[in-house]
Amino acid sequence: MWSQRSGKRGVLRTLGVLTVAATAVVVTSPSAAGAPGGEVVEQATGTAGEEYVVSFTGTPEAATAAIEAAGGTVESITAQVGMALVSSSDAAFLEEVRARGEIGGAARNHAVGTARPGMPHRFAQERPSVEERGAGGSAHGDHPGRPDAEPLAELQWNMDMIGATPGGAHREATGKGVDVGIIDTGIDASHPDLAPNVDAERSRNFTTDIPEVDGPCEVAGCVDPADVDDNGHGTHVAGIVAAADNGFGVGGVAPEATLVNLRAGQDSGFFFLYETVAALVYAGDAGLDVVNMSFYTDPWLYNCSSRDEYLEGTVTDEELAQQRLVRDLVLDAVAYAHSRGVTLVGSAGNEHQDLAAPTRYDETSPDYPPDTARPRTVANTCLNLPNEAPQVISVSAVGPSTTKADYSNYGLGDVEIAAPGGWFRDFVGTPEFQVPGNLVLSSYPLDVAIAEGLADENGDPVDEFSVEYCDEQGVCGFYTYLQGTSMASPHVAGVAALVIEEEGRPTHHRGRALEPETVARVLAESAQD
């Protein structure tokens, strides 16, 4: 059983390919920055003391010698972008290693200290508050699915808006032969709507659970398999891109695309530097066609390179060094993946800021260690990464009325495309104001839903903000409504997969390939201005 909101929809279409709403489109595609060649080299197992990211300019061998001389142990090296993961129990390690000529920069990789009790979910803003949910309207009565669509298709206004339907874009392309990487908190590959499309062999988990940050480890060694998602965010994103056209639950934008799980996000929702860069480099080396990135690299919402970019607020030398390292490594990793043919799509953020304005306000950084954030106003040259890397297609969010969602960042020349992200407060002054159906429905891990209180112990939704679908064989899947630019970005990633299938060239592996610059151009030209 499920509920359906009937109401106004905007349908935006073009000939041949799916369309998304666009702002003024400026897609820049500069040549990729040079990066050292090489492979990801595992050096050691286990971590003693603090964990650091170190960038280097020479050979991995020279970098390893310099790191060891400074009191560090190399855990792994990503030679493609000159990056090492290092552990050290020496309190002077950062000062010592930065003084070495072979080293470009160094900073701590993740949180120092313990997450405070009751710390909010990293993606809490993507779900209406308890008060809002209680005041919201009903999602309306039961409504059967259309004969030619997935059973819950009538709940997916977002797919109707962009024409991702059997009678629309899917007559031309479904994403078959296109590989889409999801850099996120993971993908629940057991979900019935995702299982047919997940490539387990090429999926990777780059994270290690940190009990002080993520809660108790689910497996011995704290390294989860690459087919689980203990947060839920990545599974929701993956369903938007490529929930299978299998007569079950919902459908994705590209229902026959292949999903590759590139887990760089912790259970807590943090995306630490080393894991993020390693996932981007792997995406390039694995030959993926598209990558979706609905996150920013912690702990800084905006990464500055100098004190001159701070207009209000304070910053230490150590904090500036960390921001510079994030800029250097993420920009290099994005350029590396782009140079190897990966179309990169990212969410613009949920701060309701004009990213084209001269200044940016930030009261959330740094977001770890806990309770260290302080307000600052910075220049717009301080970058949200990876979203503001020049090779990334930046996406803002609209609601079901096609109006920009109130939370969504925007900015001509900074954001290229707008797509359905959901907006709970859309249709103000009408019965459709604050109804669950204004958000985006997608797949969600059942165990996470139970842990978060979205479902009871039997797996049944506790309110109309979630849906359970069961087929005649008793197979069930859980779905929930979320809103955010995190939900908008995977719509564009899915469209990119359709474009690559439709316009791309055959590969030796029976897939399709298309240059990222061409994909971006087709997206820009086919979108409604």
Q: Does 233 participate in catalysis according to the annotation?
A: yes
Token pair 């797949």: residue = 443
379 — phi, psi (to 5°)?
A: -75, 160
User: Would you state the structure tokens that stand for residue 488, as one six-digit string?
Assistant: 């908008």
| CA distances from residue 176 to 219, 261, 494, 517 in whole angstroms, order as listed | 34, 17, 11, 21
Compute the distance between CA of residue 97 and CA of residue 365 in angstroms, rounded to an integer: 26
Amino acid at 273: L
Amino acid at 468: E
Amino acid at 263: R
In 3D space, the residue among 494, 432, 528 whose CA is nearest the CA of residue 159 turns out to be 494
Q: Does 184 participate in catalysis according to the annotation?
A: yes
Are 459 and 476 in contact by the 8 Å Cβ rule? The answer is: yes
Are 403 and 426 in contact by the 8 Å Cβ rule? The answer is: yes
SS3 of residue 275 by DSSP:
helix
User: Would you state the structure tokens that stand for residue 44, as one six-digit string?
Assistant: 């050691």
Amino acid at 428: V
Amino acid at 261: N
The one catalytic residue in 408, 486, 489, 526 is: 486
402 — phi, psi (to 5°)?
A: 80, 5
Q: In b/e form, how buried is each residue of 342-369, taking b as 16+ CB within 10 angstroms?
A: bbbbbbbbbbebebeeeebbbeebbbbb
Beta strands in 387-460 (DSSP E): 392-398, 417-420, 440-443
Compute the distance between CA of residue 399 and CA of residue 426 in angstroms, rounded to an integer: 6
Q: Where are the alpha helices (DSSP H) in 243-348?
A: 273-285, 317-339
**Residues β-bridged to residue 290:** 180, 343
The one catalytic residue in 110, 191, 233, 491 is: 233
Amino acid at 362: D
Cβ neighbour number for residue 463 with a 10 Å cutoff = 13
The one catalytic residue in 160, 179, 184, 426 is: 184
User: Would you state the structure tokens that stand for residue 64, as one six-digit string?
Assistant: 């390893």
Compute the distance between CA of residue 225 and CA of residue 213 in angstroms, rounded to an integer: 19
Token pair 């009990």: residue = 211
In 3D space, the residue among 96, 107, 52, 103 whose CA is nearest the CA of residue 316 turns out to be 107
User: Would you state the structure tokens that stand for residue 213, as one six-digit string?
Assistant: 């940050």
Q: Which residues are catalytic?
A: 184, 233, 486
